[in-house]
Structure 1
Amino acid sequence: MFHCELTSWSVLLSTICSYRFWYRHLVVILSLSVTCPLYGVDSLGVGWRGGGIDKWNRALAEHRFIALNQDSIWTWNVQPKSNLGPGIDGRGGVVLIPSSSGGKATFLPDAGVLYDGDPNTAFDPDDFAEAPELKRTSPIYIDLGATFRINRIRLFPRLDGEHKELFPRAFSLATIDELEEDLNLLERTFTRVFDFYPSNPNRQPVVEKRFASRDVRYIRLVVREDRRWELAEIEVYSDGTLPTGEFVSVPFLSTEGPRPLWGRVRYDGGDIQDLPVTMQTRSGPDREPLHYFRFTGIGADKEQVSAAGWTTLDSVEQGPIIRNPAWSPWETVTDGLVRSPDAVPYIQFRLFIHEPGISIKRLIIEYLNPPIAERLEAEVAPLLVDAGRETFFTVSLRTRIRRLRTDGSILPHGDTGFQAIQIETAARVDAVEKVLIDDREVDFLADFPSRDKTLIRLRNTVLQDGTFIQVVLRATVFRDATHFDVQALDQRRVDGKLIAVQQSAYAEDVDPLSLGGDLIVRVRDEQGQLPLLDQVRASAGVVTPNGDGVNDALVISYVLLKLTRSATAYFDIYDLSGRRIRHFEGRPTASGRRTQIWDGVSDSGQLVMPGFYVWRLRLKTDTGSVERQGIVGVVK
């Protein structure tokens, strides 16, 4: 157990900025090619025999773009320009063909010669007499064993004199990314890479194409002529990156007390920010962070059902899945600290793994019981400001502190209260003008221990339930959606040593004289309103889709703001006469950073002629639509 002795508030100031130490630990286990000792404390775990869930697969709620077994989760290691084929079998990949009934895909044994890296062996459908359902024109599906970002595919037969002319002439090869749950592979829509017909056949033994990177898990090959053919290799080349992997855990219970104060996140003794992952947590009072509903069939009426029961319903009966209002939303772990609300016994985490070759085994979430307060609620006002202009902000904080029973006796392990308030924000705070407690101005001492932290020390410890505190700041906001994290700080003695603790507040409407009830400040646009569509940027003014890996595609990046529900984004390319030459199907999307990619190909699958083209991005919402457009040149 790691503690820090503190003898004064000056020591606390220098310590609280970089450390947050805790007594009990919820261990969810997680390690990264580093061997460090775990602290000897009470804990729960995944993949660890000290208690809790001992296997990662048992701790799983859902996952995407990662591999896992009982001991760990990981992303596959991949290098730029590497052929993924020889590793398919090791990743659990297979070759599939339609079953004899045609309804489902079935495993085709001994078909790994399609990708084994040996140009002297070949796949010939005529050699599979034991698989009568395999015809020369049967669709053949290759599962890569994981989803990768690829930008090049190459295929060829054996190139000796006897076999060189057996290459497919009329065929298509297409790709898709990872399957959604319960979807049939045979029913998925694939994206084309090669497309040759008998009227316009392939005439080369070696066929190769480079293209803008795309996420690929499955490859489909369909030969269109009933003539003998073979392929020695289908080579699939990675660009060296992977789609972001995601692991979502089941909720965990803090067994050392029902009202924990969540703390620092570590992996095998190190801090989580040292890993190339993003971690988020949410907390709540029970095991159900989500509520599942069933349509009863009477109008729009619905009833709540269990998660297991919801999965067994017919699609017409499956109602919405919504967040349990008693659970907090997802909060990102920053500076190695859990930002989810305290004083509730369950916590759930999710990990986003951003790099290939990451193996994760151990994670530790520290906690201390009891909390500073049962609940802290805060808001900031105003919520809409001009960027770059100094503004007077009022941060309001209301406490819910449990120290006594209803009969007036002292509650064991009651809340400890706090002696200071810290406001952590990307806004530039120039001064703390005043502090009010229950509408009376009080003495305080303000400090700025780091660029993004403002610490307000109070004369007396706040111990009263329902205390209403207001801090008036002069600050400047420079970017939209700037968050104000309002924290209560305290010192307490554990095992004879003084440690520093902190607890963040929920966003709630606590000041009846202000509008909003939020801790996120937005920035006005030129018309005084917050834009829906912002930071629209084109990767280049000219693209050269020649397969050399440089400016092969136009990438439009943009940010969607303040969407209250999914909107539909449309992306189209037009020539200068106004004729649409490429249409991308509208897709539901939510707030956040998004991209659209055009690879210089028309809807017919052909490269467009050199010249200038117009791209148009349109966002359609319930309240109307907004669009942006620009010009891009195409040069071969």
Structure 2
Amino acid sequence: MLNAPRIALAICFGLLASSPARAQITNWQLGGNQPWSGQDTVSVMVDFATAEGAIQPVRIEPGTNIISLLENWTTFRQPKELGYIDGERPRIWKWNEGNGDPTENGVVLIDADSSTYNSSKAEGIDKQFFTIDLAVPIPAHTFGFHAPSSGFRSNGTPLRTDSTPAFQISIQQENQGTFDTKGAWALETIVAEPTQNFDANVRINFDQQYVRFFRWVRKFSIIDETALTRITGTSAGQGNQARALLGTISEFEVYGDGFPKRATYRSKITNLGTEQNFGRLFFAATPMRFIDGEAVVTPNAEAFAEIEVRSGRDADPNLYHEYTVTGKEKLVSRDRYEKDLRTGFGRTCASCDFVQRSPRPGMRASITYDSNNWTFWSTPTTQSGLPLNLDSGSFIQVYITLHSARFSDYVRLDSLWIEQAPLLASRVLGEVAVLEDLQPPRGIAQVPLGEEIDFAYDISASFSSADQAGFDAVRIRTGAQANFKKLYIGDAEIAPAEIPATDDGLTIILPQRITNANNAPLRIVFSAEVFELANTFLGEVTSSQAETLPQPIVDGDASDALSTNSLRVLSTSNQQPALLQNLSFSTPVLTPNGDRVHDELRIDYQLFGLPEEVAVALDIYTLDGNRVNSVPQGLQTAGPQTAHWDGRDHNGAILPPGIYLIAVAIQSERSTDTVLRPLGLTY
């Protein structure tokens, strides 16, 4: 199915297609022979039409106003509509916050109609600025604005000649979290700031670059002097206007060439009918390049697809609240929140900033995430065929980002699908505790960092249907190899049927199947080292006899003996641990003679306290500090790790005999840690 220009991906989406080779495992698919269009709740710069059955970013053609390609604009800096997420909707707002008045909020400046415009008003220049958010960074090289095609000012001046005397245009690629700062400050890069302009139709050219934000700011000019009458009081040092400012704008325009830096697609929340377990995510994506007016398959194109998935047990991942008489919050339905309650924000005038009203009944309170019934978005994946590690659910949603790092490159996403299978049990609960402290005072297991500790892992299952087949295998992920000690089924200690080798935890095949008719609680006792400051011993159950999908173990009250109700394990340390510890060599002297005896150096070490993967490199130095080789080890995470070196330099030549310094270097946000050890090399 996959070839050189194709990348595989995996997700499962609302439409099911059975896989005849695996009776219990089916695929939930989107794309291919299933439509993309209409299955989305949000799409920004996504092209549904060019490639049949696939999606790709919209290509920006020279001469096309980019603003006209975007839909669902809002005229507020911070929209109050339910579900608004930064970067999923284009915005244009006037002054600090924007407003809903179509006579001045800018909506007619993006409607591609040169006959519509906002009439100039007699108000301070300090309020005359617009910010345009295209939602995603787009390759742009021109910003323009022009006067209306018809109409007259009150003094008879044709609007088509009503030029803006002075202005500033600035641009910015990403949201840097600075828009809460009020005022007409410039964005990251100023591309134009003329002080005397007589052209009613303005085009500002600049080097093509990815741009998401544009800011147009009206500036004071000597040309304005003839149109202003100073009266008592000042406004930004320039006086109040006795009549409307010069300059009338009909349209803003943005032009460029190529593909956006990213295009986004968020699917509808899809009801699967019954609760399912989820397996791997697959997708088929084709990297492309636009060359001489043609789209060409290009395996090394600088573009890729990134996918996130979440699952739930009801139709809405949010919880909605209303204020009570005492100012506290109570849970209400979305329907009441959306239709009956008033917003908690208000303003005293159209151009005033929003302020929070005092809480009272009938007013909207917070919207929070329903983490009891919905998973958070999965870790973004760019590789097909990887497990999603999602909790089971009867609802699913997908978020797709199509990335481009070059104006001419893009990725076409042909299809995606997710493995799904029926539940093995209605719910499988688990909790973990230190064996010598089953009911810790703080309610969570705490252990010394890097010490081997005995744990008790209790599991209980519940069944709601005879169709739920049960399980006979348990896998626990600890982040490093664990050592099995005991298995209890009910109160009896029983030997496992098998303990397959596992690098990052423990896998146990039970001697009997846990089913609705044979549903004894389990306890697994094992020892493990913890190398992270906070870890979760994720677990899953599955069937060793049937081809189905594993079901996650959910933390909860699995037994009365344990009081943690959690799979979390915290590590304790009196001081911040060194990131790299316990470095050891397989031999003190490397002898690369080709006789397979000490021909290669094995370096073992342990990484501690890392919340995420970090880059690790093996550097080789002479005694005078000259680096003769650097061997990248890729991204590594907390726990035991291994590196290898064959005694060669960066050119592949065997180094001369002598003493060398071997450095294992890690680069993290916290610091850069390097550990050096000497090594002899001889023949």
Scaled by the length of structure 2, the TM-score of the pair is 0.50
Shift of 1:152: 9.5
Shift of 1:374: 1.3
For the pair shown, the structure with the greater C-alpha radius of gyration is: 2
Does 2:302 match 1:302? no
Shift of 1:475: 2.0
Instruction: Give the Cα separation in 2 of the matches to 1:520 and 1:193.
Output: 46
Does 2:310 match 1:281? yes
Look up the SS of the partner of 2:538 in the other structure: strand
| 1:336 aligned to which of 376, 383, 386 | 386
- Paired letter, 2:321: F
CA contact (8 A) 2:119 2:248 kept: no
CA contact (8 A) 1:171 1:195 kept: no
Shift of 1:503: 1.2
Look up the SS of the partner of 2:565 in the other structure: coil
Shift of 1:421: 0.9
For 1:580-599, list aligned pairs within 5 A.
Answer: none
Which residue number in structure 2 is paired with residue 402 of structure 1? 463
Instruction: Give the Cα separation in 1 of the matches to 2:213 and 2:191.
Output: 19
| 1:508 aligned to which of 522, 547, 556 | 556
Instruction: Give the Cα separation in 2 of the matches to 1:147 and 1:253.
Output: 31
Which residue number in structure 1 is paired with residue 526 of structure 2? 473
Which residue number in structure 2 is paired with residue 319 of structure 1? 365
Identity rate of aligned residues, in percent?
13
CA contact (8 A) 2:131 2:215 kept: yes
Which residue number in structure 2 is paired with residue 123 of structure 1? none
Instruction: Give the Cα separation in 2 of the matches to 1:26 and 1:208.
Output: 45
- Where does structure 1 lack aligned partners over 5 or more consecutive residues? 1-20, 31-36, 112-127, 158-166, 404-410, 493-497, 538-593, 596-626, 629-636
CA contact (8 A) 1:260 1:368 kept: yes
| 1:442 aligned to which of 490, 494, 498 | 494
CA contact (8 A) 2:310 2:396 kept: yes
Look up the SS of the partner of 1:276 in the other structure: strand
User: 1:541-569 deviations in whole A, cap 9, x for unaligned?
Assistant: xxxxxxxxxxxxxxxxxxxxxxxxxxxxx
- Paired letter, 1:318: R
- Paired letter, 1:276: A
Shift of 1:412: 4.3
| 2:507 aligned to which of 450, 455, 460 | 455
Instruction: Give the Cα separation in 1 of the matches to 2:554 and 2:102.
Output: 58
Does the C-alpha gap of structure 1 residues 47 and 243 become closer, same or farther in structure 2, counting only changes over 3 Å?
closer
Does the C-alpha gap of structure 1 residues 282 and 27 become closer, same or farther in structure 2, counting only changes over 3 Å?
closer
User: 1:580-633 deviations in whole A, cap 9, x for unaligned?
Assistant: xxxxxxxxxxxxxx99xxxxxxxxxxxxxxxxxxxxxxxxxxxxxxx99xxxxx
CA contact (8 A) 1:292 1:307 kept: no
Does 2:283 match 1:267? yes
Which residue number in structure 2 is paired with residue 133 of structure 1? 119
Instruction: Give the Cα separation in 2 of the matches to 1:89 and 1:503.
Output: 46
Instruction: Give the Cα separation in 2 of the matches to 1:326 and 1:534.
Output: 24
| 2:136 aligned to which of 143, 147, 150 | 147
CA contact (8 A) 1:479 1:523 kept: yes
Does the C-alpha gap of structure 1 residues 443 and 130 become closer, same or farther in structure 2, counting only changes over 3 Å?
closer
Which residue number in structure 1 is paired with residue 452 of structure 2? 391
For 1:21-36, list aligned pairs within 5 A.
Answer: 27-28=13-14
Does the C-alpha gap of structure 1 residues 72 and 147 become closer, same or farther in structure 2, counting only changes over 3 Å?
farther
Does 2:475 match 1:422? yes
User: 1:42-66 deviations in whole A, cap 9, x for unaligned?
Assistant: 777666887xxx6644542xx4866
Instruction: Give the Cα separation in 1 of the matches to 2:62 and 2:570.
Output: 45
CA contact (8 A) 1:375 1:400 kept: yes
Shift of 1:402: 2.7
CA contact (8 A) 1:373 1:399 kept: no
Does the C-alpha gap of structure 1 residues 26 and 96 become closer, same or farther in structure 2, counting only changes over 3 Å?
closer
Instruction: Give the Cα separation in 1 of the matches to 2:257 and 2:324.
Output: 48
Shift of 1:506: 0.4
| 1:247 aligned to which of 254, 266, 270 | 266
Does the C-alpha gap of structure 1 residues 69 and 442 become closer, same or farther in structure 2, counting only changes over 3 Å?
same
Does the C-alpha gap of structure 1 residues 85 and 293 become closer, same or farther in structure 2, counting only changes over 3 Å?
farther
CA contact (8 A) 1:170 1:196 kept: no
- Paired letter, 2:494: V
Shift of 1:451: 2.9
User: 1:448-470 deviations in whole A, cap 9, x for unaligned?
Assistant: 55533532112222235652212
- Where does structure 2 lack aligned partners over 5 or more consecutive residues? 1-9, 74-90, 95-100, 147-162, 225-245, 287-302, 345-362, 405-409, 435-444, 578-607, 615-667, 672-683
CA RMSD of aligned residues (A): 5.8
- Paired letter, 1:173: I
Does the C-alpha gap of structure 1 residues 396 and 215 become closer, same or farther in structure 2, counting only changes over 3 Å?
farther
CA contact (8 A) 1:266 1:363 kept: yes
Which residue number in structure 2 is paired with residue 579 of structure 1? none
Does the C-alpha gap of structure 1 residues 331 and 522 become closer, same or farther in structure 2, counting only changes over 3 Å?
farther
Instruction: Give the Cα separation in 2 of the matches to 1:89 and 1:69.
Output: 18
Instruction: Give the Cα separation in 2 of the matches to 1:331 and 1:131.
Output: 42
CA contact (8 A) 1:28 1:46 kept: yes
Look up the SS of the partner of 1:247 in the other structure: strand
- Paired letter, 2:69: R
CA contact (8 A) 2:320 2:334 kept: yes
Which residue number in structure 2 is paired with residue 589 of structure 1? none
CA contact (8 A) 1:331 1:340 kept: no
Shift of 1:305: 2.3
